[in-house]
Amino acid sequence: MKRVSILVLLVATGMAVAAPGDQWILPLERQNLQGDGWTEYAGAGYGGASAWEGAGANGVRRAYWKTDGTTMPASTELYTIEFFAPTSGAGNWQPLESQFNGSAGETFPIEPGIPWVGAFGTNHQYSGGDFNAGNAGTWRPANGNHLPASADFNAASGGDYFWLKNGSWLYAKWDFPWDITRSWSALRLTQITPEPASALLLLLGAPLLRRKSR
């Protein structure tokens, strides 16, 4: 009876129970653009939203996607990242990076909250991707570069992933020694690993199932 009461309490209090396969779409909001040199393409982004293009090297220009306020779990989980390729603007290759602690930043070169040993002396996570007219208006995978892969955590499925939590940010930046002209819209995150809350519910339910089978 106690286990049933705990389950009811978890549901009644509205505890978010995310699970592998759950997805979140992060829009690119105008207030999440930093610096100048932006061109707006109205209606060219996901769901008819605006896409935003940054042209040329710029030391402060960044586009941020924030998970604050979503139903993503607070626990650290693995996610695949896709970007929506806008129907207008340039699709040059550009890195997509993590800011694990969101507004609190990220410790460099080793962020203790990211359970990945990293490479080249850092566990800072970054990926990348490009698009062209042939795949505009579709979701494209961000993959490769400096990310944990399936071998790092013994998952059955392959791929490259970001360790993130509720409150983490992702960003694109233009402070490189070469020019990048790139249009961005929404990102789509898909959860890969289970969160502790899901495991807790399974553990609480398992004894009830065993008792019923006797």
Question: pLDDT 10s per residue in the chain (214 long)?
Answer: 433 333 333 333 344 568 999 999 999 999 999 999 999 999 999 999 999 999 999 999 999 999 999 999 999 999 999 999 999 999 999 999 999 999 999 999 999 999 999 988 999 999 999 999 999 999 999 987 799 875 555 444 456 899 999 999 999 999 998 899 999 999 999 999 985 444 444 444 444 333 433 4
CATH 1.10.10.10 fits 19-193, yes or no: no
Is the whole-model pTM more than 0.95?
Answer: no
Query: What is the predicted pLDDT for the residue at 151?
Result: 53
Token pair in block for residue 23? 């997805």
Extents of the domains making up the chain? 1-17+195-214, 19-193
Query: What is the predicted pLDDT for the residue at 18?
Result: 84
User: Residue length, the chain?
Assistant: 214
Query: What is the predicted pLDDT for the residue at 17?
Result: 63
Query: What is the predicted pLDDT for the residue at 94?
Result: 96
User: HSE on the CB side for 25, CA within 13 Å?
Assistant: 9
